[in-house]
C-alpha cells in the first residue's frame, strides 16, 4: 500500500489536493475529478493524500464502485463509505448526526435499520434521501473537514451518479472535499458518466486532475524502489519503454519477473497475460480459490469463499497463503475478508474463465450467499450469471423492489426488465414472484418513469392496461398514462386518458384517485385554453378531495382551480388558491407537486400583472428544482418563465443570459422552442432581424419535425413584428391572419389581443402612409375597423369582463390604433396606455405608447410641443435603456422632424398636463396621492392604476418622504389642502 513516504512523483497533483482540502476546511467545498488510464496510479495518489489528510485532522470516508458487469447494486461506494463511518464513529454518533434523516438513509443502507415507509415515493423520497446524505456530511464537517472519496466511477450505477451530481450541485459552504476517480480509457461513447463529466467541467467548483503516466525518471525511481535484485541497465530500459509509465504495468513486470528477462526472451503479449503467467504456477486449490474470488467480486469474505470452494479449512488456508505470497490477493477492508491486490488482477483472472466455469462459480457463490444476509441485487447478479432462470427471476424481482425502496430507479427499471423477460421462461411465474403480471408491469412502469425512460414507462403502463379489467385499476393506470403522455408532449392522448379515467370513476364514491383524475382533467382543459370548464372541474376536484380528507389531492386540485379563477376574472382568488397549493405541497414534502405549484403561481402572478413577484417565485422555484436535479428538464418551464418575466420587465440582458444558458442544456423540446422564440422577440426589438429570422426558422424546422403546432401563434407574432418594422404591410397582414387562425380555438385572450394590436398597428401605419400620399385609404380603414370590431368582441369593455390587467390595456391599444388608422389619432389614449404599461412594469410597450403619444401630439393643428417633447424623451429614455433600437430609430426620426432634442432635459412633466406638479412629485406619484386622498388602500390603488401592490406601497412611501409627513392620513389631508383631490372624488 502506498503511503505518503513511498509515493513516487505526483508533487503538483498532491499540492492541488492539499489546496482543495484547505479550501474545504475553510468552508469552500470543492470536488476534484481524478482521471487516468487503468493502473496509472489514481488510487495510490489518493491513499497517500488521505494519509496526510487524516494526519491533519480531517475525516476520510472511502468507497469504491464494483464491477458487477450488470451494475445491479445501487450506491455501492456511498454505502461503503457510510459503513466505514459507522465502524469508525459508532452507530450512536452517526445516528445523532444524521438526525431525522436517519430513516431516509436506511433506504440505501439497510444495515442502518428499517427504511422509512414514506408517504411520498418516487422523486420525492429520493431527494429526501439525497438531502439526508448532504445533511450528514454537513454535520460531520462541523466537527472536522470531511474527505469523501468515491473511486472507480466508470463502474458506477446510474443512481450513484445521480447522487454525486446532486452533491456537487448542492454543496454550498460544507467543509467537504469530494474526490472522484474514474478510468478514462474505460468510457464508451454512451457511458452514463460522460454527460456528468461535462456537467462537472462546467462548474467552477470542480477541478479535473488528469493523471499522466510516469515520466522516465519517475519510472526508474519506481522500478528501483520495487526490485529485489538489481536489473541491468538494458533490462531497466526495456521494462520502462514497454510499460510506458503505467505504474501497474511496471509493477507487474517486476513482480512477475518479466523485468529481469533478457532482450530476445519472449514476453507476455498483454498485461492480463502477464498477470496470468503468475497464476499458472499456483496449485490447483489456489487457482480455484482465486477464480472463486474473481467471480465473487472485488472483495470476498472468508466464510463465503470457504463455502463456495468447498475445500477443507486447512487446504483453503494453504491456498490463500499461496495467493497472498504471490501478491495476487491481500487482506480485504472488512474483517476476515480478502481483496485482489489490484482490480486489474481480478479482471485478468475473471476474463480468463471459461463460460462453464463462470456459471459454476457464480452458482456456488450465489448458493453460499443465500445463507448470508445478502442484498437481493447481489444474488440476482450471481443467479443470472449462473444461468439459473428461476432463481434469477425471483431474485431480480426482489432486487427490483429493493432498488425502488432505495430510490435507485434506473437499477429498479433494469431489474424489472430482466424479470419481465424471464416471466415467460419459468414455470408459474405468478406463484414464484408473488404478483400478477399486470401488477409487475405497473411497478415497472413507475420505475421507468422515475428513471426518466418515458417511452418504456408508456409501453409498460399500456400493456398493464390491456390486462386490467377492474375499473378502479384501469382508472389508476389511465391516470399514469395521461401523465406520461403529457410529459412526452402528447396533449390529445393525455386528454383521452384522463377523460376515460374520469368516466370510469364517475359513478363511484369520491376517492383520492377520483379527485386526482378530475384535477388532471381540469388541468388538461386549461392547457387547451378552456378556462371556464377547467375552473368548474377544478372546483369539483377540490370538493372531492376535501370530502375524503385527501390533503395532497386537495393541493393538486387547487392548481387548476387557481388558474381557472385567474383566467375567468378572479385573479385574487386564483393567486390565493395556488399559494395554498404551494403550502400544502411544501408541508407534505411533495416535491413534484411543489414544482407544479411554483410553475402555476409564476404563471398566475405574471398574468395578473405582478411580474416582479412572479419572477421572484420563479427564481425560488428554480432553486427548488435544482434540488430535484430537474433544473434543465422538467424545471425548464420555470427557467422559461423566468426568462420571459425578465424580458417583460425590461431586463433584456438578464433574459438573454437565462435563455442562452438554458438552451445550452438538454431542455425538453417544448422549452427550447419557447426560448428560441423569446430570444427572437428580443432580437427583433433590437433590430437584428437576420438573427431573429434564423431563430424562427430553426423553431419552425423543429415544429415541422415534431408535427407540433403549439407555438405557431408566437411565430406569427414575431413575423408580424418584423414585417411592421420593415413597413411590409402585406407581410404583416398575412402573418397576423395566420396567427389568428392558429389561435382561434383557444380562449387565450392575451395572445389574440396581441395579434389584433399588431394587425391594427400595421393597418394604421399603412393608412397614415397612404393618407400622406393623398391616396385612397378606405380599404385599409375598413380592414382596421373589421379587426377592431373582432378585438372588441374579445374584450368587452366594462361589464363583468375578465380583468387580467394586460387585457384592458391591449384592448385600449387596439382602439387607439383604430383611431390612428381613421386619421383621428388621440394623444390622450396613448398617454393612458403608456402609463398603464409603466404601472405594470412593462417598459417596452410603455415606450411604444410614449412614441405614439408624441407623434399624435405633434400631428395636431396647434401642437403642445412641451408635452410632445416630454413624451418623446420618456420613450427615448426607456428605449435606449433597453437597447430597443427599432423603436429608438423611430423616436430619433420623429425628434429630427420636430426639431426636439430627444436626450434633452425634461423641462415639462413626463407626460400629460401642463399644470406643474407640486412637492416634486412625479406624475405617477401624483395619481397615487390623489387615490390616497380618496382613502384608498394600497390594494385599491394598485387595482385602480394597474400596478403591483408592492409598487403602490413604494410610491406611497416616496410620497410621504417628499411631503415630509408621517402617515397616509396626513398625506391625504395635505393633498386636500393643496387642492389636488377633486372634492367629488
Ligand atoms: N506514484 C506512485 N508511487 C508509488 N506507487 C504507485 C504510484 N502510483 C501507482 N503506484 C502503484 O502502482 C499500482 C497501480 O496503481 P493504482 O492502483 O493507484 O492505479 P489506479 O490508477 O488506481 O488503477 P485502477 O484504474 O485500476 O484503479 C499500485 O500498486 C500502486 O500502489
Ligand atoms: Mg484505483
* pLDDT tens track for 99-137: 878 888 888 887 777 766 544 467 778 888 898 899 999
Find, among 859, 870, 923, 879, the residue nearest to 900 by Cα. 870
* Whole-number pLDDT of residue 799: 36
**Residue whose CA lies nearest to ligand 1 atom number 1:** 8
CA distances from 28 to 132, 140, 703 (A): 20, 15, 45
Question: How many whole angstroms separate alpha carbon 610 and alpha carbon 535?
Answer: 21
CA dist 529 and 533 (Å) reads: 9
Q: Which three cell numbers stand for residue 774?
A: 393623398
Dihedral-angle region of residue 152 (phi above 0 means left; psi in -120 to 50 means alpha; beta otherwise): left
Mean pLDDT of 158-163: 90
Cell of 872: 418623446
Task: Read off the pLDDT band of 635 (50, 70, 90).
Answer: low
Task: Tally the C-alpha atoms within 13 A of residue 981's C-alpha that lie toward its C-beta.
Answer: 20
User: Taking residues 500-518, what's their average pLDDT?
Assistant: 94
Q: Which residues pair with 151 in a beta bridge?
A: 64
User: What pLDDT, on a 0 to 100 scale, did the predictor assign at position 70?
Assistant: 47
Three-class secondary structure of residue 405 per DSSP: helix
Task: Using the atom order of ligand 1, give the atom closest to the CA of residue 211.
Answer: 21
Task: Report the pocket of ligand 1 as residue ranges, CB < 6 Å.
Answer: 2, 6-10, 36, 38-44, 152, 183, 222, 247-248, 251, 342-344
pLDDT value, residue 982 = 63
> Is 50 exceeded by the pLDDT of residue 870?
yes
Q: How many angstroms separate the Cα of 730 from the Cα of each of 100, 395, 725, 737?
A: 67, 70, 12, 11
- Residue 807: strand, helix, or coil: helix
Closest ligand to residue 345's CA: 1
> Residue 647 corresponds to which cell in the numbers above?
424580458
> Which pLDDT score is estimated for 119?
43
By residue count, the chain amounts to: 985
Give the pLDDT confidence score for residue 985 in this predicted structure: 36
pLDDT digits over 334-357, tens only?
788 999 988 888 989 999 999 999
Lowest-confidence range among 247-256, 495-504, 572-581?
247-256
Which of the four pLDDT bands, split at 50, 70 and 90, describes residue 650?
very high
The sheet that has 59-64: what strands, in order across it? 59-64, 146-151, 176-183, 30-36, 206-210
At 869 the pLDDT is 95
Residues 637 and 592: beta-carbon distance below 8 Å: no
The percent of the chain in helix, strand and coil, each rounded to the nearest 5, is 70, 5, 25
232 CA distance to ligand 2 middle (Å): 30
58 touches 261 (CB < 8 A): no
Q: Which residues contact 902 (CB under 8 A, 6 or more apart)?
A: 872, 873, 876, 891, 892, 895
Separation of CA 247 and ligand 1 centre (Å): 6
A 10 A CB-CB count for 56 gives: 13
- Binned at pLDDT 50, 70 and 90, residue 907 comes out as low
Q: Which structural domains are found in the chain, ordered by start?
A: 11-212 (3.40.50.300), 217-267 (no CATH), 493-502+510-713 (1.25.40.10), 744-898 (no CATH), 918-977 (1.10.10.10)
With a cut of 60, say whether residue 983 has pLDDT above it.
no
Nearest CA, atom 13, ligand 1: 248
**Of 37, 42, 43, 253, best ligand 1 pocket probe by most atoms within 8 Å of the beta carbon:** 43
Query: What is the Cα–Cα distance from 453 to 21, expressed in whole angstroms?
Result: 38
Distance CA 513, CA 521 (A): 12
- Residue 666: the pLDDT is 67
Ligand 1 midpoint to CA 40 (Å):
6
What's the CA gap between 600 and 616, in Å, rounded? 13
Grid cell at residue 967: 402617515
- Please give the pLDDT value at position 4: 64
Separation of alpha carbons 968 and 345, rounded Å: 83
Q: Which of 10, 247, 249 to mutate to test the pocket of ligand 1 (most atoms within 8 A of CB)?
A: 247
Confidence band (pLDDT; 50, 70, 90) for 3? Answer: low
Count of Cβ atoms closer than 10 Å to residue 88 Cβ:
12
Asked whether the beta carbons of 954 and 945 are under 8 A apart, the reply is: no
Q: In angstroms, rounded to a whole number, what is the distance separating the alpha carbons of residues 641 and 622?
A: 10
Distance CA 584, CA 563 (A): 17
CA distances from 849 to 279, 308, 602 (A): 86, 85, 27
% residues pLDDT > 70 (the chain): 93
- Where residue 913 falls among pLDDT bands split at 50, 70, 90? very low
- Burial (CB < 10 A; 0-12, 13-18, 19+), residue 604, is buried
Cell (9 digits) for 204: 467552477
Predicted local confidence at residue 798, as pLDDT: 40
214 secondary structure, DSSP code: P
The CA distance from 538 to 520, in Å, is 9
Question: What pLDDT, on the 0 to 100 scale, is given for residue 360?
Answer: 95
Residue linked to cell 494453504: 318
Residues 6+ away with beta carbon under 8 Å from 609:
804, 805, 806, 840, 946, 947, 948
Section 544-556 average pLDDT: 96
Can you tell me whether residue 301 is helix, strand or coil? Answer: strand
DSSP string, 946-974: T--HHHHHHHHHHHHHHHT-SSHHHHHHH
Nearest to 46 by CA among 86, 10, 74: 10
The pLDDT value recorded for residue 642 is 93
Backbone torsions φ then ψ of 387, nearest 5 degrees: 75, 20
Phi, psi angles (nearest 5°) of residue 90: 90, 145
Please give the C-alpha separations between residue 387 and each of 279, 380, 392, 393, in angstroms, as whole numbers.
27, 11, 8, 10
Neighbours of 555 (CB within 10 A): 28
Which of 39, 255, 344 for a ligand 1 pocket mutation test, highest count of atoms within 8 Å of Cβ? 39
| Strands, sheet with 299-301, edge to edge from the N-terminal-most edge strand | 299-301, 337-340, 329-331
pLDDT of residue 539: 97
The predicted pLDDT at position 908 comes to 44
Which of 1, 2, 213 has most ligand 1 atoms within 8 Å of its beta carbon, as the pocket-test mutant?
A: 2
Q: Whose CA is nearest to atom 25 of ligand 1?
A: 38
165: three-class secondary structure by DSSP: helix
CA–CA gap between residue 542 and residue 633 (Å, rounded): 29
Residue with cell 368516466: 503
CA distance 79 to 75: 6
Instruction: Please give the Cα distance from 122 to 174 (Å, whole number).
Output: 27
HSE-CB for 358 with a 13 A CA cutoff = 14
Buried b (16+ CB within 10 A) or exposed e, 817-837: bbbbbbeebbbebbbbbbbbb
Straight-line distance from the first to the last Cα atom of the chain, in angstroms, rounded to the nearest whole number: 89
Contact (Cβ atoms closer than 8 angstroms) between residue 205 and residue 30:
yes
Mean pLDDT, the chain, rounded, equals 88
**Residue 16, class by beta-carbon neighbours within 10 Å (0-12 exposed, 13-18 middle, 19+ buried)?**
middle
**Taking Cα atoms as reference points, which of 137, 131, 58 lies closest to residue 97?**
137
Q: Which atom of ligand 1 is nearest to the CA of 40?
A: 21
* CB-based burial label for 623 (10 Å; 0-12, 13-18, 19+): exposed
Q: Please tell me the distance between residue 46's alpha carbon and the centre of ligand 1 in angstroms.
A: 9
Q: Which residues contact 575 (CB under 8 A, 6 or more apart)?
A: 562, 566, 601, 604, 605, 608
Return the residue whose CA atom lies nearest to atom 4 of ligand 1: 7
CA-based nearest residue to 863, from 874, 850, 875, 854: 854
- CA–CA dist 561, 542 (Å, integer): 8
Q: Return the residue matching grid coordinates 443470472.
A: 384
Q: What percent of the chain has pLDDT over 90?
A: 54
For the residues 814-818, what does the mean pLDDT come to?
A: 97
CA 718/CA 759 separation, integer angstroms: 12
Q: What is the rounded CA–CA span in Å between residue 740 and residue 791?
A: 11
pLDDT in tens, 442-495: 999 989 988 888 899 999 999 999 998 899 999 999 999 998 898 887 888 999
Separation of alpha carbons 495 and 498, rounded Å = 5
The phi and psi torsions of 88 (rounded to 5 degrees) equal -75, -45
Task: With a cut of 80, say whether residue 795 has pLDDT above it.
Answer: no
How far apart (Å, rounded) are the C-alpha atoms in residues 884 and 847? Answer: 9
How far is ligand 1, taken at its centre, from the CA of residue 249, in Å?
A: 10
Give the nearest ligand 1 atom to 151 CA. 27
The minimum-distance atom of ligand 1 relative to the CA of 344 is: 26
| Sign of the C-alpha dihedral computed for residues 779, 781, 784 and 789 taken in this order | negative
Amino acid at each position: 500500500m502506498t503511503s505518503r513516504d513511498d509515493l513516487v512523483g505526483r508533487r503538483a497533483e498532491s499540492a492541488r489536493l492539499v489546496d482543495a482540502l484547505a479550501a474545504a476546511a475553510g468552508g469552500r467545498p470543492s470536488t476534484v475529478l481524478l482521471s487516468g488510464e487503468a493502473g496509472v496510479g489514481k488510487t495510490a495518489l489518493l491513499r497517500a493524500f488521505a494519509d496526510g489528510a487524516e494526519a491533519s485532522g480531517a475525516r476520510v470516508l472511502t468507497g469504491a464502485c464494483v464491477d458487477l458487469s450488470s451494475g445491479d447494486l445501487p450506491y455501492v461506494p456511498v454505502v461503503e463509505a457510510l459503513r466505514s463511518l459507522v465502524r469508525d464513529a459508532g452507530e450512536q454518533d452517526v445516528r445523532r448526526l444524521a438526525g431525522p434523516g436517519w430513516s431516509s438513509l436506511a433506504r440505501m443502507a439497510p444495515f442502518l435499520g428499517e427504511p422509512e415507509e414514506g408517504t411520498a415515493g418516487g422523486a420525492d423520497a429520493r431527494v429526501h434521501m439525497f438531502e439526508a446524505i448532504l445533511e450528514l456530511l454537513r454535520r460531520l464537517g462541523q466537527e472536522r473537514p470531511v474527505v469523501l472519496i468515491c473511486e472507480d466511477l466508470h463502474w458506477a450505477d446510474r443512481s450513484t451518479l445521480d447522487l454525486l451530481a446532486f452533491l456537487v450541485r448542492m454543496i454550498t459552504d460544507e467543509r467537504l472535499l469530494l474526490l472522484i476517480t474514474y478510468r478514462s480509457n474505460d468510457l464508451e461513447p454512451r457511458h452514463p458518466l460522460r454527460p456528468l463529466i461535462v456537467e462537472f467541467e462546467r462548474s467552477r467548483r470542480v477541478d479535473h486532475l488528469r493523471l499522466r503516466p510516469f515520466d522516465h525518471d519517475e519510472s526508474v525511481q519506481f522500478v528501483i524502489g520495487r526490485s529485489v535484485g538489481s536489473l541491468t541497465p538494458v533490462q531497466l530500459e526495456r521494462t520502462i519503454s514497454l510499460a510506458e509509465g503505467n505504474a501497474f504495468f511496471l509493477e507487474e513486470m517486476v513482480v512477475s519477473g518479466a523485468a529481469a528477462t533478457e532482450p530476445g526472451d519472449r514476453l507476455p503479449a498483454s498485461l492480463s497475460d502477464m498477470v496470468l503467467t503468475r497464476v499458472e504456477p499456483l496449485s490447483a486449490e489456489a487457482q480455484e480459490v482465486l477464480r472463486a474470488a474473481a467471480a465473487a467480486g472485488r472483495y470476498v469474505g472468508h466464510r463465503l469463499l470457504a463455502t463456495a470452494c468447498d475445500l477443507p479449512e486447512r487446504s483453503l488456508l494453504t491456498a490463500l497463503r499461496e495467493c497472498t505470497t504471490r501478491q495476487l490477493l491481500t487482506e480485504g477492508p472488512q474483517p476476515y475478508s480478502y481483496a485482489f491486490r489490484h482490480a486489474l488482477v481480478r479482471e485478468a483472472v475473471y476474463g480468463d474463465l471459461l463460460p462453464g466455469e463462470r456459471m459454476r462459480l457464480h452458482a456456488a457463490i450465489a448458493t453460499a450467499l443465500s445463507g448470508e444476509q445478502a442484498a437481493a441485487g447481489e444474488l440476482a447478479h450471481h443467479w443470472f450469471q449462473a444461468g439459473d432462470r428461476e432463481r434469477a427471476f425471483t431474485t431480480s424481482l426482489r432486487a427490483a423492489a429493493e432498488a425502488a425502496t432505495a430510490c435507485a430507479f434506473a437499477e429498479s427499471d433494469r431489474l424489472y426488465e430482466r424479470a419481465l423477460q424471464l416471466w415467460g421462461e419459468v414455470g408459474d411465474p405468478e406463484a414464484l414472484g408473488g404478483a400478477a403480471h399486470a401488477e409487475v408491469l405497473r411497478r415497472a412502469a413507475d420505475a421507468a418513469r422515475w428513471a426518466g425512460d418515458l417511452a418504456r414507462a408508456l409501453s409498460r403502463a399500456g400493456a398493464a392496461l390491456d390486462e386490467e379489467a377492474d375499473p378502479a385499476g384501469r382508472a389508476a393506470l389511465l391516470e399514469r398514462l395521461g401523465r406520461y403522455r403529457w410529459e412526452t408532449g402528447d396533449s390529445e392522448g393525455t386528454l383521452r386518458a384522463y377523460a376515460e379515467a374520469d368516466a370510469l370513476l364517475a359513478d363511484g364514491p369520491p376517492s383520492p384517485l377520483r379527485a386526482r383524475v378530475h384535477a388532471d382533467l381540469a388541468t388538461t382543459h386549461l392547457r387547451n385554453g378552456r378556462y371556464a370548464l377547467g375552473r368548474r372541474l377544478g372546483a369539483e376536484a377540490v370538493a372531492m378531495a376535501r370530502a375524503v380528507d385527501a390533503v395532497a389531492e386537495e393541493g393538486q386540485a387547487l392548481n387548476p382551480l387557481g388558474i381557472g379563477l385567474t383566467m375567468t376574472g378572479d385573479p385574487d382568488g386564483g393567486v390565493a388558491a395556488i399559494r395554498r397549493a404551494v403550502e400544502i405541497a411544501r408541508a407534505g414534502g411533495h416535491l413534484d407537486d411543489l414544482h407544479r405549484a411554483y410553475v402555476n403561481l409564476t404563471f398566475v402572478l405574471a398574468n395578473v400583472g405582478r411580474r416582479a413577484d412572479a419572477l421572484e417565485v420563479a427564481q425560488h422555484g428554480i432553486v427548488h428544482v435544482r434540488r430535484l436535479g430537474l433544473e434543465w428538464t422538467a424545471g425548464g418551464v420555470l427557467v422559461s418563465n423566468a426568462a420571459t418575466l425578465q424580458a417583460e420587465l425590461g431586463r433584456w440582458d438578464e433574459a438573454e443570459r437565462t435563455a442562452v444558458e438554458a438552451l445550452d442544456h438538454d431542455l425538453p423540446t417544448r422549452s427550447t422552442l419557447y426560448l428560441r422564440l423569446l430570444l427572437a422577440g428580443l432580437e427583433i426589438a433590437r433590430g437584428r432581424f437576420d438573427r431573429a429570422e434564423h431563430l424562427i426558422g430553426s423553431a419552425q424546422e423543429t415544429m415541422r419535425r415534431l408535427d407540433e403546432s403549439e407555438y405557431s401563434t408566437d411565430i406569427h407574432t414575431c413575423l408580424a413584428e418584423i414585417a411592421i418594422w420593415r413597413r411590409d404591410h402585406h407581410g404583416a397582414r398575412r402573418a397576423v391572419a395566420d396567427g389568428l387562425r392558429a389561435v382561434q380555438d383557444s380562449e387565450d385572450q392575451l395572445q389574440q389581443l396581441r395579434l389584433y394590436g399588431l394587425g391594427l398597428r400595421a393597418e394604421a401605419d399603412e393608412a397614415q402612409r397612404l393618407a400622406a400620399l393623398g391616396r385612397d385609404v378606405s380599404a385599409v380603414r375598413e380592414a382596421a375597423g373589421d379587426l377592431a370590431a373582432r378585438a372588441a368582441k374579445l374584450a368587452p369593455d366594462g361589464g363583468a369582463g375578465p380583468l387580467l390587467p394586460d387585457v384592458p390595456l391591449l384592448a385600449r391599444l387596439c382602439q387607439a390604433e383604430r383611431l390612428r388608422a381613421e386619421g383621428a389619432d388621440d394623444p390622450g389614449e396613448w398617454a393612458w396606455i403608456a402609463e398603464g404599461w409603466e404601472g405594470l412594469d412593462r417598459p417596452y410597450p410603455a415606450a411604444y405608447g410614449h412614441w405614439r403619444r408624441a407623434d399624435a401630439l405633434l400631428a395636431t393643428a396647434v401642437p403642445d410641443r412641451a408635452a410632445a417633447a416630454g413624451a418623446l424623451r420618456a420613450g427615448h429614455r426607456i428605449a435606449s435603456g433597453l437597447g430597443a433600437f427599432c423603436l429608438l430609430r423611430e423616436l430619433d426620426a420623429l425628434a429630427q422632424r420636430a426639431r426636439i432634442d430627444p436626450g434633452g432635459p425634461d423641462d415639462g412633466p413626463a407626460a400629460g398636463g401642463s399644470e406643474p406638479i407640486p412637492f416634486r412629485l412625479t406624475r405617477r406619484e401624483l395619481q397615487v396621492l390623489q387615490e390616497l386622498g380618496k382613502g384608498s388602500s394600497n390594494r385599491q390603488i394598485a387595482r385602480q392604476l394597474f400596478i403591483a401592490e408592492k409598487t403602490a406601497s413604494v410610491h406611497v412611501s416616496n410620497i410621504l418622504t417628499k411631503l415630509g409627513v408621517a402617515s397616509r392620513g396626513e398625506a391625504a389631508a395635505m393633498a386636500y389642502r393643496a387642492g389636488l383631490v377633486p372634492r367629488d372624488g
